[in-house]
Amino acid sequence: MALSALLVREFDELVKNYPERRAALILALHRCQETDGWISPETMENLGTYFALEPVEVYGVASFYPMFRLRPVGKHVVSICHNISCDLRGAQDVIAQVCKLTGAPLHGTSKDGKWTVETVECAGACANAPMFDLDGVYHEDLDADKVAKILGGVK
Amino acid sequence: MKAFETYLLDRAKKDGAHRLDEYKKLGGYKALEKVLKTGLTPGAVIDEMKKSNLRGRGGAGFPTGMKWSFMPDPAKDPRPRYLAINADESEPGTCKDRVLMERDPHGLVEGSLIAAYAIRAQAVYIYVRGEYRKSHDRVRDAVLEARAAKLVGKNILGSDFSCEVFMHKGAGAYICGEETGLMESLEGKRGHPRPKPPFPAMSGLWGKPTTVNNVETVFNAPFIIERGGAWLAGIGTKGSSGNFLCGISGHVNKPGVYELPFGVTAQEIVEEKAGGIWKGRGLKAWFPGGSSCALLTGKDIDVVLDHDSLKARGSSLGTAAMIMIDDQTSMARVMEIIARFYDHESCGQCSQCREGTQWLSQIFHRIAAGKGQPDDVDTLDALAKGMAPGKTICALSDAAAIPTLSAIKLFREELMTCVREKRDPLAVKQPEYAVVGAH
């Protein structure tokens, strides 16, 4: 399936912000991931066509950046910071609790396809550690009650 | 702590200051108006910045006015030129620029425009780390509001100064906070740092003259223009002017982002702002400015926070992100995490860094797991010395080597005990969970 007309229109506007079209590639990858949940080989081919790049060059960029997911993920993604400031305040307990509550192994997806759980490096929430990002929204100053409440509220 | 004047977070503490009308009510865009309506030349703006002695707040502490003056004279070099704002805040422990972007985004926009005017840039690219969605959206909305009010775009405030401001996003790579890695990333490529020279002022974004500034750095510019360079130079210590944002995290009672003048001691910050070390424990070690700085021990808590004083103690101010570690914490564990981080973030161009960070990570991991070899600590020492200083394209290799060398210097005996006893006596039993694959 080709890029949707909506995305193409959006990219046509984005590339105007730069002297070279290619500069919009990372923003385009973000938009595709927001739409599809991940960056499929087909998306990389489509973006290659749009930006006049070989698909492998798009892959080279997509695979460099940890935020881009090159495999499908669950309906909801929990990204838990496990860097130093969060570790000092219980990030490992958060990881264990999230895995338990969601039934997903770390870096994996729950059997029902509802949850993917991953760790990330410092997310810049150090003064409100520990934290996770749930579907693009930061949740900070976590403790067991708060984690249970947040995950319990997800449909 | 002596009483001091605040300015960086004053607006951020008020609700609604992220909106243009409220920002203007609080005196916003007065400095830009002063620049454009009183005929201040770009050279005069740079002179004011030089007078202020402002040093960059992104970690390197380079004098801002001097950096701006490196941009070539447009009469001799008519190429397009750019300002890139480094909002890729990713240094572990650092969470200060986020506060400014989320709560006071127009301050960043106004500061960026003044910087762009001074270096005569036609366009500003604000590179926000991908995870900071709220920061990105707040700054984007501020730019939209500013554009509608003729504060961004063609003939700003009726002057002959035109400048566009564009939003850009990173995607989770720490290395893109390095200025040349950031430029590669902005061009839509892998964030591989470039060898210097050429320096960005001569050949930056798309090979054109470019200045890269941190968020908090340009955020200072409107205050300097309004109140004068001498005003800022009068705050702080010799060599470190003004107030700075200090993010304090880890084992303290009240972690947070606090505004402080250079010259306060770390002890004053810990006790009077952060509520002391938690659980009534003692302070074992701390990073004064993010994880790329040399560790200090509890004895160094009396140090004055500024560039020169921290250098004299063998560390550095970095991003002024203090990470506090209590006396029950295993340093093998701390270093295992730090080393893992640099291994994860190395871009892989330089062998010293690509291989070195991997080795450091593996060795700290096995020491922390009680599987260290008798010569592991010496191997760490030799590896780190082979990685830095100045052996690679950028400073990521140094950033991994510096904390490693400090940990060996300060905690060799603790690391050796883990090796000898084949266990880490300070290890905390960690909860278990299933893991699939490698990350």
CB B374 within 8 A of CB B422: no
Looking at residue B439, its pLDDT comes to: 45
- The H-or-E segment that residue B168 falls in is strand B164-169
CA angle centred on B346, ends B343 and B351, rounded to 5°? 95
Domain closes at, from A64, A88, A108: A64
Q: Looking at the partner chain, which of A20, A83, A107 has a beta carbon nearest the beta carbon of B341?
A: A83
For B105-125, what is each residue's pLDDT tens digit? 999 999 999 999 999 999 999
Chain A neighbors of B249, CB-CB under 8 A:
85, 88, 126-127, 129
Q: All domains of chain B, ordered by start, with CATH?
A: 20-233 (3.40.50.11540), 236-326 (3.10.20.600), 331-421 (1.20.1440.230)
Chain B neighbors of A64, CB-CB under 8 A:
173, 190-191, 347
Asked if A26 and A81 sit in the same domain, the reply is no
- Do the Cβ atoms of B171 and A26 come within 8 Å? yes
Asked if A104 and A142 sit in the same domain, the reply is yes
Gap between the Cα atoms of A62 and A44, Å rounded:
8
Q: Per the domain annotation, does A47 fall within a domain?
A: yes
Asked if A94 and A57 sit in the same domain, the reply is no
Asked if A89 and A147 sit in the same domain, the reply is yes
Interface test with chain B among A61, A84, A142, by most B beta carbons within 10 Å:
A84
- The H-or-E segment that residue B87 falls in is strand B82-87
Q: Is the pLDDT of residue B438 over 60?
A: no
pTM confidence score: 0.97
Q: How far is B237 from chain A (nearest CA, A)?
A: 26
- The count of other CB atoms within 10 Å of the CB of residue A135 is 10
Gap between the Cα atoms of B219 and B213, Å rounded:
10
- The predicted model gives A27-41 an average pLDDT of 97
Q: How far is A1 from chain B (nearest CA, A)?
A: 24
Q: Is the pLDDT of residue A1 over 80?
A: no
Q: Per the domain annotation, does A70 fall within a domain?
A: no
Asked if A148 and A96 sit in the same domain, the reply is yes
* Residue A69: DSSP 8-state: -
- Range list of H helices, chain A: 5-14, 25-36, 41-51, 55-64, 84-87, 91-102, 144-152
- Do the Cβ atoms of B132 and A124 come within 8 Å? yes
For A129-153, what is each residue's pLDDT tens digit? 999 999 999 999 999 999 999 999 9
Chain A neighbors of B171, CB-CB under 8 A:
26, 29-30, 65-68
**Which residues, 6+ apart, have CB-to-CB distance to A135 below 8 Å?**
A76, A77
Gap between the Cα atoms of A56 and A63, Å rounded:
10
CB B278 within 8 A of CB B326: yes
Looking at residue A71, its pLDDT comes to: 95
Looking at residue B225, its pLDDT comes to: 98
Asked if A29 and A86 sit in the same domain, the reply is no
Q: How far is A141 from chain B (nearest CA, A)?
A: 10
Question: What mean pLDDT value characterizes chain B?
Answer: 97
Q: Per the domain annotation, does A147 fall within a domain?
A: yes
CB B241 within 8 A of CB B92: no
Asked if A45 and A99 sit in the same domain, the reply is no
- Does A66 or A2 have the greater pLDDT score? A66
From the number of C-beta atoms within 10 Å of its C-beta (0-12, 13-18, 19+), residue A2 rates as exposed
CB B16 within 8 A of CB B22: yes
- The count of other CB atoms within 10 Å of the CB of residue B146 is 24
Report the number of secondary-structure helices (H) and strands (E) in chain A: 7, 5
Asked if A91 and A137 sit in the same domain, the reply is yes
Gap between the Cα atoms of B53 and B42, Å rounded:
17
Chain B neighbors of A70, CB-CB under 8 A:
none
Gap between the Cα atoms of B325 and B318, Å rounded:
18
Interface test with chain B among A64, A80, A93, by most B beta carbons within 10 Å:
A64
- The predicted model gives A87-105 an average pLDDT of 98
Place of tokens 């729950």: A110
- The H-or-E segment that residue B406 falls in is helix B396-421
**Which residues, 6+ apart, have CB-to-CB distance to B52 below 8 Å?**
B65, B220, B224, B228, B229, B230, B231, B232, B233, B241, B242
3 state DSSP class of B142? helix
CATH number of the domain within which A23 lies: 1.10.10.1590
Asked if A53 and A101 sit in the same domain, the reply is no
Cis amide linkage into residue A66, ω under 30° from 0: no
For B330-340, what is each residue's pLDDT tens digit? 999 999 999 99
Place of tokens 């302070």: B283
Asked if A89 and A136 sit in the same domain, the reply is yes
Asked if A136 and A83 sit in the same domain, the reply is yes
* Interface size, chain A vs chain B, as Cβ–Cβ contacts under 8 Å: 168
3 state DSSP class of B246? strand
Q: Report ipTM for this prediction.
A: 0.97
Looking at residue B152, its pLDDT comes to: 98
Looking at residue B287, its pLDDT comes to: 98
Percent of chain B with pLDDT strictly greater than 70:
100
Q: In what order do the strands lie in the sheet with A137-139?
A: A108-109, A115-120, A76-81, A132-134, A137-139
Q: Which residue range(s) make up the domain with A24? A: 5-64
- The count of other CB atoms within 10 Å of the CB of residue B303 is 18
Gap between the Cα atoms of B314 and A66, Å rounded:
33
Query: Considering only CA atoms, which of A131, A135, A129, A130 is closest in space to residue A153?
Result: A135
Q: Per the domain annotation, does A71 fall within a domain?
A: no
CB B343 within 8 A of CB B355: no
Interface test with chain A among B9, B125, B129, B189, by most A beta carbons within 10 Å:
B189
CATH number of the domain within which A99 lies: 3.40.30.10
Looking at residue B437, its pLDDT comes to: 73
Q: Per the domain annotation, does A18 fall within a domain?
A: yes
Percent of chain B with pLDDT strictly greater than 90:
99
Q: Per the domain annotation, does A123 fall within a domain?
A: yes
Q: Per the domain annotation, does A139 fall within a domain?
A: yes
Asked if A128 and A97 sit in the same domain, the reply is yes
Tally the domains of chain A: 2
Q: Looking at the partner chain, which of A120, A126, A137 has a beta carbon nearest the beta carbon of B247?
A: A126
Chain A neighbors of B434, CB-CB under 8 A:
99, 105-106, 108
CB B123 within 8 A of CB B114: no
The two three-digit tokens of residue B311, written as one number: 């250098």
CA A72 from chain centre, in angstroms, equals: 11
Confidence of residue B288 (pLDDT cuts 50, 70, 90): very high
Q: Per the domain annotation, does A127 fall within a domain?
A: yes
Chain A neighbors of B174, CB-CB under 8 A:
121-122
Question: CA B104, B106, B107, B111 torsion: positive or negative?
Answer: positive
A26: nearest CA in chain B? B188
Gap between the Cα atoms of B331 and B45, Å rounded:
47
Chain B neighbors of A18, CB-CB under 8 A:
166
* Residue B28: DSSP 8-state: T
For B173-183, what is each residue's pLDDT tens digit? 999 999 999 99
Place of tokens 């609700």: B15
Chain B neighbors of A108, CB-CB under 8 A:
434-437
- The predicted model gives B413-421 an average pLDDT of 98
Gap between the Cα atoms of B86 and B233, Å rounded:
24
